[in-house]
Amino acid sequence: MGVAKYIKNQKDAIEEVIYQSGIKVKPSYGPDDLKEVGFDYEKDLADPGQYPFTRSIHPQGYRSRAWTTRQYTGFGTPAETNARFKMMIAHGQNGLNVAFDLPTQMGLDSDDPKAKGEVGRVGMAVDSLQDFEIAFKDIPFDRIGAGLTINANATVMLAMYQAVAKKYGYPKEKISATPQNDILKEMIGRGAWIFPVEHGVRLVGDSIEYAIKELPRCNPVSLCGYHIRESGATPAQEIGYSFEIARAYIENVVARGLKPDDFVGRFSFNFNVYGNLWEQVAKFRAARKLWAKMLKEEYGVTEPKKLFLRGLFGGGGSGLTKAQPENNIIRSSYYALAAALGGAQTTALCSFDEAFTIPTPRAALLSLRTLEILMDEVGLRDTVDPLAGSYFIETLTKQMEAKIRDEMQKIKDLGGMINAVSTGAIQSEIANQAYTFEKGMQNNELIKVGVNKYAEEDEPEVELHEYNETWAKDQIASVQEVRRTRNNRDVVRCLKKLEQVTRDGQNVMPCLVECCDAYATVGEMTGVFREVFGEWREPNIF
Amino acid sequence: MAQKKIRVLLAKPDLDGHDRGAKVVALALRDAGMEITYTGLHNSIDQIVNAAIQEDVDVIGLSIMTGAHLSIAKTLLHRLKRESVDDMCVIIGGVIPKQDIPKLEALGIDGVFPGGAQFDEIAASIKKMIAERGE
């Protein structure tokens, strides 16, 4: 939402500007500011494509390759979702980002009593491989990669993706999936967690270890500061916390005998864009630099490609408002601009009607067009890192870097991210940030157009996506039919093996692929983990 | 004589994990002098009703983002009735379309506060409904 505090005098002139990360902005910047923050071109920036990659991971930025567009898509049954995938691809989208319904994310089959009312509501319902066969029918796996927005049971979905690709004749070496797979982030915000912390992190480690050996084009984890910021964190916290989460995953995999050099190059990121334009751009530039430095200096990674912070920088849902919803189209355009100026490899926008519910096809298409206009019409591909050298942006980038480091240090002082999440310290910090922010909005210290400034009494109606009750009925009939017609002896054998492998601490991935091949359901596979691991109990922060 | 603190149970029913709103309202109501219990995520209606009875609260607040507010409200009110609980107020916040507010009120929900509702207004409404209940 409104994210910078503006203190004005009686004549409406701005006397002070304070960004959400706590940085005070001056009325003007010059060479002295760069001196004051100790700016050094070679050390702090270097040329695009050169370490520490502040300017870009590629020498020519969007000239050599425009960003990948990946609108978050999925609702109802796999058939509905497949039709929407194809529509978006036909209109120029070149990546997928799959939305799963809550039962799927929580590892429940569609006919589980706890799934009632939620089947196909906020994403696509998936019960077995049959659903992936329908959802990904006629999708060119070798050309279109898929983000899978799932975390607690991301291992199950990654296995299912491998299984469906094989079914359609694509070898596993050729497929590119990016399961979100960031369980610590789910525990901090968003809340789709199932298992206790150590088991959740073990599953993340299993998928990284497996993907490095078997799925060379997959990105087994997408560190998702996006949701941490949606929960109320500042931009500096968003980045700092994501890096400390990454550290927890790195340590888990290193403990298995792998070297960081073997796997960190496959990490990817998902960051949030809303609010103040300059703070976002500086955030992304500082993040690229800090990630590369952390990997090089602390983990001894040297190969430049493995130091890249590759990310989806996506328009933040928190920035959108139900009031005057068409304003969200304009807001999101600026968020996309910030993502482009920040050098996003991949992007997506929340659609203008998403403050209400999931988007209509028209709204989803508008988001895609917004991204296409930036790349094809207004010149964002002309030259790499166009804001480089600005006294203001370079000073701000240095300041953001310091703020992010501070946030990382705070987590280290709490005993690391796993500890910070287990005790609830971090959830408490973010809830307090969110509260401070909300009070600022309600006191009109932070401005949101159409909400606390220029509000209107009568709002026009918007056309909204409607949930169709028959989707749940169809999906329930479909999973029950799968259970009737599959070879249940195979399923039982695979699930028994999965339980053994899980208990023995072996990597669960190969066995999950076998389970998927046998049409075991998401509820059955996740159920094995529930049985072995138990469920997490949230720390009480009040 | 010090007035008895109003006790509020804030709850996130079912599977949705977006709890920013619930947590922020918890902090605001605490600052308004109320005693807050937050259930955390993934609660069944039965768990919520049991917690409310156990904590002997004055108000149950549900935060719902998924669009399932009407059916959740019906189930909760039904369960309260079955447990012969008639002295608790029930309020709902979250992503609630305008046209559903009268429907929720007709079901017997005492207050509906969609995202963006002012903290002062929520606190004042709770105090008012508790005072009216007490009469």
CA pair distance A131, A150, nearest whole angstrom? 16
Q: How far is CA A352 from CA A69, A319, A328, B107, in A?
A: 17, 10, 5, 31
**Closest CA–CA distance from residue A434 to any residue of chain B (Å):** 6
pLDDT given at position A2: 52
Query: Would you state the structure tokens that stand for residue B64, as one six-digit string?
Result: 């719902």
| CA dihedral sign of residues A203, A207, A213, A219 | negative
**Closest CA–CA distance from residue A205 to any residue of chain B (Å):** 23
At A111, is the pLDDT very low, low, confident or very high (cuts 50, 70, 90)?
very high
Whether residue B17 lies within 8 A of chain A, CB to CB, comes out as yes
**Closest CA–CA distance from residue A524 to any residue of chain B (Å):** 18
CB contact under 8 A, B26 and A542: yes
Q: Taking CA atoms, what residue in B is nearest to A439?
A: B119
Which positions ≥6 away from A356 have C-beta within 8 Å? Answer: A322, A325, A462, A464, B95, B97
CB A465 within 8 A of CB A75: yes
Of B28, B44, B67, the CB nearest to A357: B67
Interface of A with B in 188-227 (CB under 8 A): 189-193
pLDDT given at position B133: 84
Query: Would you state the structure tokens that stand for residue A315, as one six-digit string?
Result: 């328009």
CB A204 within 8 A of CB A182: yes
Nearest to A220 by CA among A136, A162, A283: A162
Model pTM greater than 0.90?
Answer: yes
Residue B134 pLDDT > 80: no
Interface of A with B in 87-126 (CB under 8 A): 102-103, 105-106, 108, 114-115, 117-118, 121-122
Whether residue A494 lies within 8 A of chain B, CB to CB, comes out as no
B chain contacts of residue A356, beta-carbon cutoff 8 Å = 95, 97
**Closest CA–CA distance from residue B110 to any residue of chain A (Å):** 23
Q: What is the DSSP letter of A310?
A: -
The pairing of beta strand A5-8 with beta strand A14-18: antiparallel
Of B26, B30, B41, the CB nearest to A538: B41
CB contact under 8 A, A118 and B118: no
Quote the percentage of chain A above a pLDDT of 70: 100
- Is CATH 3.40.50.10190 the classification given to domain A5-431? no
CB contact under 8 A, A191 and B17: yes
Whether residue B44 lies within 8 A of chain A, CB to CB, comes out as yes
CB contact under 8 A, B17 and A190: yes
A chain contacts of residue B95, beta-carbon cutoff 8 Å = 355-357
Which tens digits make up the pLDDT trace of A191-232?
999 999 999 999 999 999 999 999 999 999 999 999 999 999
Which positions ≥6 away from A166 have C-beta within 8 Å? Answer: A172, A517
At A1, is the pLDDT very low, low, confident or very high (cuts 50, 70, 90)?
very low
- Range list of β-strands (E), A163-287: 177-179, 221-223, 267-273
DSSP H or E stretch at residue B91: strand B89-94
CA pair distance A469, A120, nearest whole angstrom? 9
Average pLDDT on B70-89 reads 95
B chain contacts of residue A323, beta-carbon cutoff 8 Å = 116
At A66, is the pLDDT very low, low, confident or very high (cuts 50, 70, 90)?
very high
The residue of B7, B8, B12, B16 whose CB has the most chain A CBs within 10 angstroms, and thus the best one to mutate to test that interface, is: B16
The pairing of beta strand A68-69 with beta strand A24-25: unpaired
Average pLDDT on A300-306 reads 97
CB B70 within 8 A of CB B95: no
Residue A459 pLDDT > 90: no
Question: Would you tell me how many other CB atoms lie within 10 Å of the CB of residue A342?
Answer: 25
Whether residue B27 lies within 8 A of chain A, CB to CB, comes out as yes
CB contact under 8 A, A438 and B115: no
The residue of A121, A426, A435 whose CB has the most chain B CBs within 10 angstroms, and thus the best one to mutate to test that interface, is: A435
DSSP code per residue over A213-233:
HH-TT---EEE-HHHHHHTT-
pLDDT given at position B2: 58
CA pair distance A285, A301, nearest whole angstrom? 20
CB contact under 8 A, A186 and B17: yes
Average pLDDT on A389-418 reads 98
Which positions ≥6 away from A80 have C-beta within 8 Å? Answer: A120, A124, A471
Of A117, A355, A434, the CB nearest to B68: A117
At A409, is the pLDDT very low, low, confident or very high (cuts 50, 70, 90)?
very high
Which tens digits make up the pLDDT trace of A355-369?
888 999 999 999 999
Query: Would you state the structure tokens that stand for residue A225, as one six-digit string?
Result: 């500061």
Which tens digits make up the pLDDT trace of A142-189?
999 999 999 999 999 999 999 999 999 999 999 999 999 999 999 999
Average pLDDT on A319-337 reads 96
B chain contacts of residue A102, beta-carbon cutoff 8 Å = 14-16, 66
Average pLDDT on B15-29 reads 95
Which tens digits make up the pLDDT trace of A116-150?
989 999 999 999 999 999 999 999 999 999 999 99
CA pair distance A209, B116, nearest whole angstrom? 44
CB contact under 8 A, A102 and B15: yes
**Residues pairing with B62 in the sheet:** B11, B92
CB contact under 8 A, A542 and B38: yes
Q: Number of C-alpha atoms within 13 angstroms, CB side, residue A195?
A: 25
Say how many CB pairs under 8 Å bridge A and B: 91
Task: List phi, psi (to 5°) of A169.
Answer: 85, 15
Q: What is the DSSP letter of B98?
A: G
Could you tell me the domains of chain B? 7-134 (3.40.50.280)
CB contact under 8 A, A542 and B28: no
CB contact under 8 A, A117 and B118: no
Q: How far is CA A302 from CA A166, A261, A292, in A?
A: 34, 8, 9
pLDDT given at position B116: 86
Write down the domain spans for chain A: 5-431
The residue of B8, B25, B27 whose CB has the most chain A CBs within 10 angstroms, and thus the best one to mutate to test that interface, is: B27
Task: List phi, psi (to 5°) of A111.
Answer: -95, 10
Whether residue A444 lies within 8 A of chain B, CB to CB, comes out as no
DSSP H or E stretch at residue B60: strand B59-64
Question: CA B91, A433, A204 angle in degrees (round to 5)?
Answer: 95
Question: Would you tell me how many other CB atoms lie within 10 Å of the CB of residue B131?
Answer: 10
Question: Would you tell me how many other CB atoms lie within 10 Å of the CB of residue A90?
Answer: 8
A chain contacts of residue B30, beta-carbon cutoff 8 Å = 542
Which tens digits make up the pLDDT trace of B51-66?
999 999 999 999 998 8
Residue B44 pLDDT > 50: yes
Question: What's the whole-number average pLDDT of chain A?
Answer: 96
B chain contacts of residue A108, beta-carbon cutoff 8 Å = 15
CB contact under 8 A, B20 and A230: yes
Of A118, A431, A540, the CB nearest to B27: A431
Of B19, B30, B97, the CB nearest to A191: B19
Which tens digits make up the pLDDT trace of A229-284?
999 999 999 999 999 999 999 999 999 999 999 999 999 999 999 989 999 999 99
Q: How far is CA A290 from CA A244, A274, A281, A307, A404, in A?
A: 12, 21, 14, 10, 9
CA pair distance A370, A391, nearest whole angstrom? 29
**Closest CA–CA distance from residue B117 to any residue of chain A (Å):** 9
Which positions ≥6 away from A151 have C-beta within 8 Å? Answer: A105, A180, A181, A182, A183, A185, A186, A190, A192, A193
**Closest CA–CA distance from residue B125 to any residue of chain A (Å):** 17
CB contact under 8 A, A356 and B97: yes
